[in-house]
Structure 1
Amino acid sequence: MLTRASASRYRTLFISDIHLGTRGCQAEMLLDFLHHFEAERIYLIGDIFDGWRLRRGWHWPQAHNDVIEAILHKAHAGVQIIYIPGNHDEVARNYIGTHFGGIEVRLTDEHMAADKRRFLITHGDQFDIVVKNADWLAHLGDRAYKFVLGLNTTVNRIRRLWGGQYWSLSNWAKQQVKQAVNFIGEYESVLAEEARRSGYDGIICGHIHKAEMRDMDGVLYINTGDWVESCTAVVEDQCGQLHMIDWTSLTPRRQQEDKTRPTSSQVPPESVAARLAPAVANQDH
């Protein structure tokens, strides 16, 4: 595991949809990611914990505690952390404008990149008609989603027996269902239009668990993905360039490097994260 001094440093880190409190949460992978990447500012863009699921049954293993502790440690070390609640952790919206443990809670935010581009930061559920106008239907869909994630866990346990890397059954299914594809396209268009209407250069959101970074008629639409299906995040470098990081694709490469790395007395000064930098750059959309 990398030390704080050897981690790759970025200006800003954007993470959403961790869903702590659910069995589908990939907390261990997120912890690994957080140990490899440091930033001056971190945005937690909603659904960090899953209040919907926790109300139906308590599930909170040690790894989920470890994620919270890792985030609080960064806040205590001086990292600015801005928490924008989503629909699954909407109870935190009762605390908009407050601080706890060095974390500031905001409904939305404006992020100014190093290259002076302005981005609207929002979880995105405000633009989801199903969540906004049919809460009961959203909860019904959440139960079906939980079932698919249960299958996903079983599939990946079997894959690990043969040394296979993490694969998301739920994410694959989402790409095959025409209605889901249409909904995702509409969601992206609506959020891009909101950014355009408000005079922003782009929008950074979460909510639909579909990592994406693309230009939509002059507006940069960015969805950070999640830590249930895709295990993705977005980082801003010191020049203001934004990069999508797919940790599931980088992790096997890092683990292979760990196996071939010299013993501690022979470890070269450059970090694993630094050697992964070219691969991270290739994640640009």
Structure 2
Amino acid sequence: MTARAEMRHFHALFLSDIHLGTRGCQAELLIDFLKYHDAETIYLVGDIVDGWRLKRSWYWPQAHNDVVQKILRKGRKGARIVYVPGNHDEFLRDYVGSHFGMIEVADHCLHEAIDGRRFLIIHGDQFDVVVRHAKWLAYLGDWAYTAALGINTWLNAARRRMGFPYWSLSAWAKLKVKNAVNFIGDFESTLSAEAARIGADGVVCGHIHHAVMRTDDGLTYINTGDWVESCTAVVENHDGTFELITWQQPAQGATATEAEPEALAAA
């Protein structure tokens, strides 16, 4: 869907898995997205900065700094910003309960939607058995994932020259591998069960780089996706509905290419 890009304002905006500090981060697309999307509350749902990768080698181009400045500017203009760390930025868990300027750091939190529903906001790695109990295997998987993203970068460079929008080879492959599909299903079920356990009406998470919104048996599961593979964000509108937005290519002049948002009405 191609339309003139206009600033949209929401009750809440949810972003996760940006992975600043990696070559796979789609920082330019995120900067463009943030130009046209604003919210009263912005939740950063983990893996915003990739501490794992930065420990191995430093990579921080100007575009990554621009993402940070863009988010901080929204805070200066009055947005509440809540940072819920993930496994790649777990160093920030030492600062849970602290404020860095206008940014609150929380291990997890509850978001109250306009319609009164309560959502558990959590990255989700706490429920990933590999991350919790076999970190060496998680690091190995991260190395293989980085290699796949390198191929993805070359592929999309060629696609841009041919005039095609961003497309993720790794995200496509993930949905074709049976074990990955099973893991995603188990992850969704586990996070939904945790939301139900604490009496919430739903959960908003990240971690597995698979954006989706669904409601089963009155409980809503929302995964924000990422800004490495799918370039997605979740927003809550001022009427209480949620949208999953995919931002596939930068706005040019006043024209933006935006995938038609998937809407999730209040249940």
Please give the range of the TM-score, normalised by the shorter of the 2 chains.
over 0.9
Quick check: 1:284 aligned with 2:248? no
SS in 2 for 1:25: coil
Instruction: Give the Cα separation in 2 of the matches to 1:76 and 1:163.
Output: 37
Per the alignment, residue 232 of structure 1 pairs with: 232
Instruction: Give the Cα separation in 1 of the matches to 2:178 and 2:260.
Output: 32
Contact preservation (8 Å) 1:76, 1:101 = no
Q: Aligned letter for 1:218?
A: G
1:76 CA drift (Å): 1.3
Q: Aligned letter for 1:205?
A: C
Per the alignment, residue 32 of structure 1 pairs with: 32
Instruction: Give the Cα separation in 2 of the matches to 1:92 and 1:201.
Output: 27
Q: Which has the higher helix share?
A: 1
Q: Which has the higher strand share?
A: 2
1:279 CA drift (Å): 3.6
Per the alignment, residue 269 of structure 1 pairs with: none
* Structure-1-length-normalised TM-score: 0.88
Shift >4 Å, 4+ stretches: 254-257
Instruction: Give the Cα separation in 1 of the matches to 2:46 and 2:189.
Output: 20
Instruction: Give the Cα separation in 1 of the matches to 2:254 and 2:46.
Output: 33
Per the alignment, residue 242 of structure 2 pairs with: 242
Per the alignment, residue 108 of structure 1 pairs with: 108
Q: Give the unaligned 5+ runs of structure 2.
A: 1-5
Per the alignment, residue 120 of structure 2 pairs with: 120
- Counterparts of 1:252-263 in structure 2, within 5 Å, are 255=252, 258=255
Query: Number of paired residues?
Result: 259
Instruction: Give the Cα separation in 2 of the matches to 1:75 and 1:162.
Output: 38
Instruction: Give the Cα separation in 2 of the matches to 1:216 and 1:209.
Output: 21
SS in 2 for 1:107: coil
Q: Give the unaligned 5+ runs of structure 1.
A: 1-5, 259-271
1:118 CA drift (Å): 0.5
Instruction: Give the Cα separation in 2 of the matches to 1:193 and 1:11.
Output: 26
Per the alignment, residue 167 of structure 2 pairs with: 167
* CA root-mean-square deviation: 1.7
Instruction: Give the Cα separation in 2 of the matches to 1:29 and 1:101.
Output: 26
Q: Aligned letter for 2:204?
A: I
Q: Highest CA radius of gyration, 1 or 2?
A: 1
Instruction: Give the Cα separation in 2 of the matches to 1:48 and 1:159.
Output: 26
- Relative CO higher for 1 or 2, CA cutoff 8 Å, sep ≥ 6? 2
SS in 2 for 1:204: strand
Contact preservation (8 Å) 2:21, 2:60 = yes
Contact preservation (8 Å) 1:21, 1:60 = yes
Contact preservation (8 Å) 1:12, 1:39 = yes
